[in-house]
Amino acid sequence: MSLNDELAAFYRSRSHEIPAAAHEVMKRADRDHAASGQAGRALNVGGTAPRFSLPAADGTTVTLDALLADGPVVLTFYRGAWCPFCNLALRALQQQLGEITARGARLVAVSPQIPDESLSLTEKHELGFPVLSDLGCDTAKQYGLSFDLPEELAAVYESLGFDLQRVNGGHPHTLPIPATYVIDRDATVRWAFVDTDYKTRAEPSDLLAALDDLT
């Protein structure tokens, strides 16, 4: 089963658990975000990846320049550990970590969560790659991925128990569009997946193929 087949099956199995009114708010927000065209304006193939310096879950600081010094980088932005679709996507990437590193690349994930939340996520899923904290989505904004939740959607998330005020360090309404990039050593984006639909993610097989194309 592909990752997106797994995500679709998860959505079908869990969507009935969300109250109908809340579900309608979520669907309306999804439609509006897609119609905004933001995904098309985000960093894409041929662009230069903005540099960043972000804290990792283990307390160290990770920079894009240092990662690129070792080879290509697979950079993935996710919403947070509270998002089950993000957890499934990160788990799928972890399963392919050996294939990614075998191609000489480094994998790194970025979310707006505070480092303690990133550490909990890393330990829970036994992730073998850096998980970085982009408080306020400042780095995501440079990539064209940052957006603010509509008030009614933020209220729905709060009603579902997602404490974004705490886990995002006082930036509860700002999230990144889930996106994954393959960045060459000269910081050029060689492959990109950007979609406002958080239920759809980059297929690990596609990014592996993109890494193969670099060589």
Tokens 């950079």, residue?
75
Verify whether residue 137 is a known catalytic residue.
no
Give the C-alpha separation, 165 to 151, whole Å.
14
Catalytic residue among 86, 110, 153, 207: 86
| 63: phi then psi, degrees, rounded to nearest 5 | -115, 150
Q: How many Cα atoms are found within 13 Å in the side-chain-facing hemisphere of 109?
A: 27
Question: Euclidean distance between the first and final Cα of the chain, in Å?
Answer: 28
Q: Rounded to an integer, what distance in angstroms lies between the CA atom of residue 155 and that of residue 142? A: 27
Distance CA 106, CA 139 (A): 18
Catalytic residues: 86
